[in-house]
Amino acid sequence: MKGFIKGSMKGVAGLVIKPLSGTLDLVSKTADGFKNLVSSSDREVKKIRIVRPFYGKNQSLRAYDAIHSYLV
């Protein structure tokens, strides 16, 4: 009987605590998302390579050429 009561109390406590924990986690993760959204605009993105130019009337792409990328 003692084990049944102890297990029932743990179950009832879990019934209350688990949803409360999930709700607090939702609020925390949402706040982190907003923080990251706001702070990401402060960071400047560094380009890895210069823009790749389009050529001619048809605006076709050719193989990447570093010299032509500076001319654009």
Residue pLDDT, tens place only, 8-41: 999 988 898 999 999 999 999 999 988 887 776 6
Tell me the whole-structure pTM to 2 decimals: 0.45
Residues 6+ apart with CB under 8 A from 66: 49, 50
> For the chain, what percent of residues have pLDDT higher than 90?
32
| pLDDT in the model for residue 31 | 92
| pLDDT in the model for residue 39 | 73
> H-helix or E-strand containing 38?
helix 2-40
Amino acid at residue number 57: K
Q: What is the mean pLDDT of residues 47-61?
A: 70
Answer whether 59's CB lies under 8 Å from 40's CB: no
